[in-house]
Amino acid sequence: MLSRPVTSRDVLDVVVVGGALIDVVISPDRTSEHPGGSPANVAYGLGRLGVAAGLMTALGNDDRGAAIETHLRSVGVTLLPGSYSQDRTSSATATLAEDGSASYDFDVIWDLGTVAPASTPKVLHTGSIATFLSPGAGAVKTLLQKYRHACTITYDPNIRPTLLGSHAEALSIFEELIDLTDVVKLSDEDAKWLYPRKNLEDISKHLLGLGAGLAVITQGSQGSLLATPGTRLAIPSVKSTVADTIGAGDSYMAALIMGLLTRGTDGLSPAVLDQLGRTATMAAAITVRRPGANPPTKEELRSQLEASAAK
């Protein structure tokens, strides 16, 4: 299939590689559909923060694919040519019972096709099932190998156990990719699933030992842990009235990437790590205050950070 023409920015600071899908929620009284998928959410979050970002993905040339593209373009995110490569757009369906419990059904296809960025970005981000699910996972790994020393590579595995193979297989794939990345971000749930016998501090040390330059583990209301070979920082959470936690981790990741782009010449000094962690934490806190994957704008984030610093 032919890609639709790209009309957004041609020079991209960040290219996100990974899945975009439609989240379908079926409740007893209505059915709703929303664009989703962790990598697509990260790209959307970057767009909201004013970062020139593009998404390299696999969509069907259908109404759902068009809805995802419209969603991304609304914040200036470029859909890379070649992203319309599938017979249908992937979906995740949650069926809600009267008591609020949910059952899930996934219709996910991941095959990266022939997409490629026109130029080398400053940051290449990937994550979620795009790095585990064949045949596309092999193409993602090839891209990471190609850009390993050309730009900063960030990775959030965003573990979804029901879509993975065995634990041993998933762990092997994850650890093979770490040496190709600079920044690895896990939620505490991801970390405990991957390494059930290790505590979070030991997990961060393990990730650094595998080749990561920065290991980040988010812990919800308990804050987050940022570690480099020379520094370990615990960043406190921001108190929030929680509407839901949908998209919070992706907002954190988007703000973390923005911070990496704007950190100046101080590398990953303790002061830089502190700023990265506090900025990303605030982005997640803003997101959980409102329903759905609704990340902050650059202005919202700046305002909240300034207000927090003034206290």
CA atoms within 13 A on the CB side of 248: 25
Note the Cα 52 to chain centre separation in Å.
16
CATH superfamily of 14-299: Ribokinase (3.40.1190.20)
pLDDT at 292 > cutoff 90? no
Nearest-5° Cα angle at 157, 152 to 161: 170
Confidence class for position 105, pLDDT limits 50, 70, 90: confident
Q: Whose CA is closest to 176, among 141, 205, 129?
A: 141
pLDDT of residue 10: 61
pLDDT at 5 > cutoff 60? no
What pLDDT, in 10s, does the model give residues 248-289?
Answer: 999 999 999 999 999 877 889 999 999 999 999 999 999 989
Q: What is the dihedral of CA 24, 139, 16, 178, to 10 degrees?
A: 110
What pLDDT, in 10s, does the model give residues 122-132?
Answer: 999 999 999 99
Q: With contact defined as beta carbons under 8 Å apart, do 70 and 50 qualify?
A: no
Q: With contact defined as beta carbons under 8 Å apart, do 56 and 16 qualify?
A: yes
Q: Whose CA is closest to 278, among 247, 233, 211?
A: 233
What residues does 60 pair with on adjacent strands?
Answer: 86
pLDDT of residue 104: 77
Q: With contact defined as beta carbons under 8 Å apart, do 18 and 126 qualify?
A: yes
Domain ranges of the chain: 14-299
Note the Cα 295 to chain centre separation in Å.
12
Q: Which residues have a Cβ under 8 Å from the Cβ of 30 and sit 6 or more positions away?
A: none
Confidence class for position 52, pLDDT limits 50, 70, 90: very high
Note the Cα 13 to chain centre separation in Å.
16
DSSP H helices, the chain, are: 38-48, 63-73, 136-147, 167-178, 188-194, 200-209, 248-261, 270-288, 298-310
Q: Is the dihedral of CA 268, 270, 271, 275 positive or negative?
A: positive
Q: Which residue has the tokens 């096709």?
A: 113
> Distances from the Cα of 147 to the Cαs of 127, 216, 233, 251, 254, in angstroms?
15, 21, 29, 24, 20
> Distances from the Cα of 100 to the Cαs of 94, 96, 202, in angstroms?
11, 6, 37
Q: Report which of residues 288 and 99 the model is more confident about.
A: 288
Q: With contact defined as beta carbons under 8 Å apart, do 59 and 84 qualify?
A: yes
- Average pLDDT across the chain, whole number: 91
pLDDT at 94 > cutoff 50? yes
Distance CA 255, CA 297 (A): 10
Q: Report which of residues 17 and 95 the model is more confident about.
A: 17
Q: Which residue has the tokens 């020379």?
A: 230
What pLDDT, in 10s, does the model give residues 173-227?
Answer: 999 999 999 999 999 999 999 999 999 999 999 999 999 999 999 998 899 999 9
